[in-house]
Amino acid sequence: MYARMERPSCLPRSSKMNSYITNALSDFFFKYETPRQVLVRNRRVGVVCRLIQLGVLAYIIGWVFIYEKGYQSTDTAVGSVFTKMKGVGYTKVDGEERVWDMADYVFPEQGDSSFVVMTNYIITKGQKMGTCPELAEPSYLCNSDSDCARGIIERTGHGHMTGKCVGNTTKTCEVVAWCPVEDDRVIPDPALLMSAENYTLFIKNSVTFAAYGVKRSNLVEGIDNQYIKSCVYDPKTSPLCPIFRLGDLVQMSGFNFSTIARVGGAIGIVIDWTCNLDYDQSECKPIYSFHGLYGNPKETDMARTSVGYNFRYAKHYMEDKQDKRTLLKVFGIRFDIIVRSVARKFDIIPTLTAIGSGVGIFGVATVVCDLILLYLLPKREYYNNMKFKVTETVEQCDNLKLGINTFIYYIPDVYAGPQVSANIILQNKEPLDEFKSEKEVSME
């Protein structure tokens, strides 16, 4: 049996449109919707839900707030580095004594954040422009002029070939070059400037965290002129002293000084400014660390294709109205000072963002538990019926131009009877008129 209503008179389109707009505005301003919740008493699902929520809570507190400091904003610093070397070296080569000071063994001299300290060298004195024989190496040996191609410049050679084969006992090709040519086949061992181990390096570093208006220097509170005159950096006893002994730097970077001094190498000095500005600014202090940047200290020289760090440096002078030079092949330790900085401070915006994202992640527990309830448990159909409320199908008055009346409520037979409320006329497959009075209600 079906319940239906007689066709109501449809309002004009303009009136219906105004009514819809009025109802929509009324619903928007004066109605509140809240989701329907179903309390499920199931131990397995309850345990899974609480475990997931506990894991999310641990992630938010442990990772987001404690480890990643999600409640703080960050800023990186703008900084500068100034260096100064001190120490004197002494050499005696071929009976010639010489003293080397910081103006002789530091390149460049300006005190930059990247510099080289000379520890060994090969010197070629009195070079002048002219013609002379090449080194007695296999690629330059010759028996006649035909073995020397005129105008050729070998990649590893010292000059421009003249096409002549010269020499008395050992003949080599003649070149136009700075003569005599450099012979760097034998590297002095031990290093000529082993005294560099006792040189000292002074580092002055300042950083500015512009976002927080904080300026800091590695000459922190408690470091005065009297302290600097006597201190030498030690990671345990003097971790804030800005003066470093070169031998200690090499050792802390993992190298052996006698080995690296002979052929050269590269060492990185890292100044780390990691500051929590929620505390007093005086707690913002640098931490130094040292790293061997070139090669593996456990390798031998024979195992590597390119050994050490070196470059050439020439000192020009005039003698007898002729340009001459002294050529130095310098072996040294290259120091690169690297400043890393990050400052953190409490900020309400990242704090609220972290909390909001954490609350959103709690929704994972609901999704997982719904999947278990609706698809995995034996009583999934029961839980599905409890979770979703399905309404009966309703079709309302269609456009009058179509000439079709679809204003029908389909009501199951179970509702047919005296219990049906007023304003409803139960008839057999006829329209239900909801506008009739209570007296007109009748049963078939």
Query: How many domains does the chain fold into?
Result: 2
Give the domain range for residue 45. Answer: 37-71+347-388
Indicate whether 432 pLDDT > 70: no
CATH number, domain with residue 67: 1.10.287.940
Residue 444 lies in a domain: no
Residue 341 Cα distances to 75, 202, 209, 241, angstroms: 8, 20, 9, 19
Question: Are 333 and 370 found together in one domain?
Answer: no
pLDDT tens readout for residues 350-365:
999 988 888 888 888 8
- pLDDT tier for residue 366 given thresholds of 50, 70 and 90: confident
Question: Are 224 and 263 found together in one domain?
Answer: yes
Question: Are 323 and 375 found together in one domain?
Answer: no
Indicate whether 31 pLDDT > 60: yes
On the 0-12 / 13-18 / 19+ scale of CB atoms within 10 A, 92 is: exposed
C-alpha to C-alpha distance for 298 and 254, rounded to whole angstroms? 9
Question: Are 58 and 206 found together in one domain?
Answer: no
Determine the pLDDT at residue 306.
65
Which whole number is the average pLDDT over 318-324? 90
Indicate whether 308 pLDDT > 80: yes
Determine the pLDDT at residue 200.
94
Per-chain mean pLDDT for the chain:
81
Annotated binding-site ranges: 84-86, 200, 310-312, 329
Determine the pLDDT at residue 304.
58
- pLDDT tier for residue 317 given thresholds of 50, 70 and 90: very high
Question: Are 227 and 295 found together in one domain?
Answer: yes
Question: Are 306 and 375 found together in one domain?
Answer: no
Indicate whether 378 pLDDT > 50: yes
Residue 375 lies in a domain: yes
b/e map 239-265, b = 16+ CB within 10 Å = ebbbbbbbebbbebbebebebbbbbbb
Indicate whether 442 pLDDT > 50: no
Residue 437 lies in a domain: no
- pLDDT tier for residue 170 given thresholds of 50, 70 and 90: confident
C-alpha to C-alpha distance for 86 and 260, rounded to whole angstroms? 20
Site of tokens 């139960």: 426
Determine the pLDDT at residue 194.
93
Question: Are 215 and 265 found together in one domain?
Answer: yes
Question: Are 338 and 265 found together in one domain?
Answer: yes
Question: Are 370 and 248 found together in one domain?
Answer: no
Determine the pLDDT at residue 434.
40
Question: Are 199 and 287 found together in one domain?
Answer: yes
Which whole number is the average pLDDT over 256-272? 92
Determine the pLDDT at residue 24.
81
Specify whether the CB–CB gap between 435 and 419 falls below 8 A: no
Residue 174 lies in a domain: no
Which whole number is the average pLDDT over 322-334? 93
Using only C-alpha atoms, the chain has a radius of gyration, in whole angstroms, of 45
Question: Are 307 and 363 found together in one domain?
Answer: no
Is the Cα dihedral 305, 310, 311, 316 positive or negative? negative
- pLDDT tier for residue 295 given thresholds of 50, 70 and 90: low
pTM above 0.75, yes or no: no
Q: Which of 7-21, 93-107, 183-197, 217-231 has the lowest mean pLDDT?
A: 7-21
Annotated binding-site ranges for ATP: 84-86, 200, 310-312, 329
Determine the pLDDT at residue 25.
84
Which whole number is the average pLDDT over 173-177? 92
Determine the pLDDT at residue 406.
44
Residue 414 lies in a domain: no
Question: Are 351 and 337 found together in one domain?
Answer: no
Determine the pLDDT at residue 6.
47
Residue 431 lies in a domain: no
Do strands 322-346 and 114-133 pair parallel, antiparallel, or not at all (unpaired)? antiparallel
